[in-house]
Structures are given as C-alpha cells and as structure tokens.
Amino acid sequence: MTTSLVRGAVLLIGDEVLSGRTQDVNLQAIAKFLAPLGVQLAEARVVSDEVPEIVAALNALRTRYDYVFTTGGIGPTHDDKTADAVAQAFGVVIDVRADARAILEKHYTSGPLNEARLRMARIPDGAVLIDNPVSRAPGFMLGNVFVMAGVPSIMRGMLLGVAPHIKGGKIVEQRIWRGRGLREGDLAEGLQALDEKYAAVSFGSYPWFSAQGHGVHLVARSVEPETLEAASAELAAFMRALGAEPELVREDER
C-alpha cells in the first residue's frame, strides 16, 4: 500500500447477518461502488445490534481508515441502535433534527409520523444528511463515517448521495483471467515469479470448481495502468505456456 491509496472499511450492523438468517450483499455492493471512485476496502466487520459493540468497532475503524461505511440499524424499531451508537462514538448529542423531520413530514407516505418513525429523524449533532431516494428516511455522514440503511435496495440508493462526499485516491485497476483446467499447484511457482518481478502489481489466484469443470482465476491489480497491462499480458502468456487459453473476465460476470 502506498500513501496515495485511499482506504475504506465497512461495518455491517445486524444480528440477522451473524445468525445466518440474512445473506449479506451490501459489502460487495459497496466495494464495487467505491473502486472506481478510488477507494479500496481494506477491512470489514460484522457486529450485533448492541451499542457497545457498534461503538468499539466504529472507533477502531474510523481512526484507522479514510472512510467508514456502515449499513443497518437506522430504522424505527427498538433494535435500530446505529444512530445512537455513532453519536456515542463521536461524543456528540443526538436528537430529532428539524431538517430530517421535515423530510419525513414532506415525503413519508408509509403511515403516520408517530414516535417510532420520528426515531428515523434522530441525527447526531454535526452530521450531514444523506438522501434516501427509495424510502426517504435519510442516512447521514459524520466526520469520515457514512451511515446507511441495511435493506440492500435502500442502501444502494443512498450510495448515490455518498459519492459527492468521497475524495478518492488512485484507482486500483484489475485484470481477471480465467484459465480452464489449470490447477494452482502447477502455476504457483511461475505466479510467484511474476509477483516478484512486478512490484507495483499484486497477483491473486482463485481456484473454482463447477459442474462444467474446474480452473483458476488469476487476478492482477495495480494503480499503474501501463504496468498492469504489461503484467496482465505476461500473465496471459504464462497461462498459455501452461496449456490453457486465458479468457479475460468482464468485471460484471465474475
């Protein structure tokens, strides 16, 4: 890692992920959203709906990484504790805020604006609201922390409002090659040689097994586009030398 990389962390908040009831899909969505903005995810954590757990994880992550992205725990029910935890982590007060309340009053169509729904207008002091184009109750940004909903469709909507606040760094580009029939044990030595040759490129090897057969995905990643092209070409030639016909994998059909 060089200092020109901007690094982010994701904090998934929710018993439902830890219990196995819910398959998380937010981590991958956030990672794919951030990559072209020049933010690399460096760590992720999943914690339960307990304020001390959220506070501890948030403080560990926000002091270490450039940005932290949380999902979950900002709804109207008693198990939604994220806003309070964020306020506690930053040592600021939290209360129903007029601008957030106004958004709910103007747009909320899902029922009366009762005490429970007003919980969604409780915003830590100093936070900037993040628009929620899907269900209106806003997320927010406080310092380097972005607080978003846990429902994937709502979270993805909020990411649109996150983007303008992000100051990314160098963009890590990647090339993914599929090598049908290849086995990791046969290519490990040559791949390591490539890894040592190209200091600015990181290489990864990921075996796959399916009904159609088996093989390896070989990945090259770098912030230097020209170096990446050279390394990627050499990687493909290496795969051919092993007897495989390398196929470049599009980012959206991995």
Judged by beta carbon, residue 26 or residue 88, the one nearer a second copy is 26
Give the residue with the Cβ less far from a second copy, 5 or 128: 5
Residue 230 CB, nearest distance to a second copy (Å)? 19
Q: Is 230 in the site for a second copy (CB under 8 A)?
A: no
59 binds a second copy (CB under 8 A): no
Q: How many CB atoms lie within 10 A of CB 5?
A: 17
Say which DSSP state 250 is in: P
| Residue 125 touches a second copy, criterion: CB under 8 A | no
CB of 192 to a second copy, least distance (A): 4
Q: How far is the CB of 126 from a second copy (least distance, A)?
A: 26
The terminus-to-terminus CA distance of the chain in angstroms comes to 25
Q: Can residue 73 be called a binding residue for a second copy (CB under 8 A)?
A: no
Q: Which of 133, 207, 225, 243 binds a second copy (CB under 8 A)?
A: 207
Integer angstrom CA distances of residue 137 from 20, 50, 67, 132: 27, 22, 22, 6
Binding to a second copy in span 159-178, by CB under 8 A: 172, 174, 176
Least distance (Å) between residue 128 CB and a second copy = 24
What letters, b where the CB count within 10 A reaches 16 and e where it falls short, cover 166-184?
bebbeebbbbbbbbeebee
Q: Which stretch binds a second copy (CB under 8 A): 77-85, 88-96, 161-169, 228-236?
A: 77-85
Nearer to a second copy, 53 or 131 (CB): 53
Under 8 Å CB-to-CB from 23, ≥6 apart: which residues?
A: none
221 contributes a contact to a second copy by CB under 8 A: yes
Binding mask 12-41 toward a second copy (x if CB under 8 A, else -) reads ---xxxxxxxxxxx-xxxxxx--x----xx
Strand ordering across the sheet containing 247-248: 202-210, 213-222, 173-180, 247-248
Strand residues in 143-236 grouped as ranges (E): 145-148, 173-180, 202-210, 213-222
CA neighbor of 86 nearest in space, from 34, 130, 28: 130
